[in-house]
């Protein structure tokens, strides 16, 4: 264990005992939802993990410590304090060295989860290749982290504001399997379909765990994407989303939003343009992913 890790006693006990643990990220708290939806999303995610028999381990950097498992006040701090840095792999060194707070992205959370020995992680949607990446080169570090760090990321696909075909191409290039959970199609975050195929379809948490065990046995390294479509009753149809997405992308362009600010800006604009509909769908898909992640952790 490295000296910068701070693992909550309950999480440490579960890891040591080989009991199920699910990692949760914190960028979604500080940058993915407005207050108080962010607190509600995070606390309900933890409750669902427990209900399914897993210990939740929300991950963030607090006062330069890599915290694995947060107290309620720490979640509230991440949800309300401004500004909280958005921390990916590249940011970890500077944030820890300066003793600051940071909310970890999918990539940042994977790094810390792997350090702690946690193998299953639930989020909303992974980052990916942004539309227009041929000009901007904006490709989320989440994809490269999946290529190198052995953590299963349970998500509702990649966020629909992205270029989904190119996102799948980059994952393929880097040898990252995209497994559809009870689906043949790569889900598009708020909607269940994208017209794009997954690499393999699995029907049960045990089947996901079996793939993870084989991959470890083969020494393949790197993570997997477990793509779990949003439930039909919470889905937003793609045709409905397209108008809001085009508007949000145009606003981002006009406002000159770049780099790490792009994703939070787009999600925030979608929440506003949709009158809260995307916010509700986002919460529901996160909770569904946590439930599945807990079952996979149990099967492991």
Catalytic residue numbers read: 25, 159
Task: Check binding of 27 to ligand PSU (CB under 6 A).
Answer: yes
Closer CB to ligand PSU, 156 or 297, in the complex: 156
Closer CB to ligand PSU, 12 or 189, in the complex: 189
Question: Please, what is the Cα angle at 262 between 256 and 268, to 5 degrees?
Answer: 105
The 3-state DSSP composition of the chain as helix, strand, coil percent (nearest 5) reads 50, 20, 30
Shortest spacing between CB 189 and Mn ion, in angstroms: 16
Binder to ligand PSU among 38, 149, 263, 274 (CB under 6 A)? 263
User: Residue holding tokens 């975050």?
Assistant: 189
Residue 171 touches which member of ligand PSU, Mn ion, none, C-beta under 5-8 Å by kind: none
Which residues lie closer than 8 Å to 231 by C-beta, 6 or more apart? Answer: 284, 285, 288
User: Residue holding tokens 């952790």?
Assistant: 297
Residue 297 touches which member of ligand PSU, Mn ion, none, C-beta under 5-8 Å by kind: none
Binder to ligand PSU among 282, 292, 295, 296 (CB under 6 A)? 282
Which residues lie closer than 8 Å to 137 by C-beta, 6 or more apart? Answer: none
Q: Around Cβ 282, how many Cβ atoms within 10 Å?
A: 27
User: Residue holding tokens 């362009």?
Assistant: 253
Q: Please give the residues from 83 up to 142 whose contact with ligand PSU meets the rule CB under 6 A.
A: 105-107, 123-125, 127, 140-142
What are the residues binding ligand PSU (CB under 6 A)?
Answer: 25, 27-28, 31-32, 105-107, 123-125, 127, 140-142, 260, 263, 267, 282, 286
């Amino acid at each position: 264990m490295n000296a910068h890790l701070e693992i909550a006693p309950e999480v440490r006990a579960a890891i040591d005992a080989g009991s199920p643990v699910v990692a949760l990220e914190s960028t979604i708290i500080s940058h993915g939802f407005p207050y108080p939806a962010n607190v509600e999303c995070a606390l309900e995610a933890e409750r669902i993990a427990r209900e399914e028999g897993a210990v939740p381990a929300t991950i963030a950097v607090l006062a330069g410590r890599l915290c694995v498992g947060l107290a309620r006040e720490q979640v509230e701090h991440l949800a309300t304090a401004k500004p909280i840095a958005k921390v990916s792999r590249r940011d970890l060194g500077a944030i820890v060295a300066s003793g600051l707070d940071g909310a970890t992205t999918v990539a940042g959370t994977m790094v810390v989860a792997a350090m702690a020995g946690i193998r299953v992680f639930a989020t909303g949607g992974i980052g990916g290749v942004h539309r227009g990446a041929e000009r901007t080169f904006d490709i989320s570090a989440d994809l490269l982290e999946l290529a190198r760090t052995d953590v299963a990321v349970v998500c509702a696909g990649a966020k629909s504001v992205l270029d989904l075909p190119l996102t799948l191409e980059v994952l393929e290039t880097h040898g990252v399997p995209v497994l559809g959970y009870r689906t043949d199609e790569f889900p598009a975050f708020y909607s269940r379909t994208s017209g794009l195929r997954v690499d393999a379809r699995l029907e049960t948490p045990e089947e996901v765990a079996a793939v993870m065990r084989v991959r470890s046995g083969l020494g393949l390294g790197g993570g997997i994407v477990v793509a779990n479509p949003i439930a039909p009753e919470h889905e937003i149809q793609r045709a409905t989303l397209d108008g809001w997405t085009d508007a949000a992308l145009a606003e981002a362009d006009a406002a000159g939003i770049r780099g790490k600010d792009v994703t939070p800006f787009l999600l925030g604009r979608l929440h506003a343009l949709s009158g809260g509909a995307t916010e509700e769908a986002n919460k529901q898909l996160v909770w569904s992913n946590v439930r599945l992640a807990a079952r996979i952790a149990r099967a492991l």
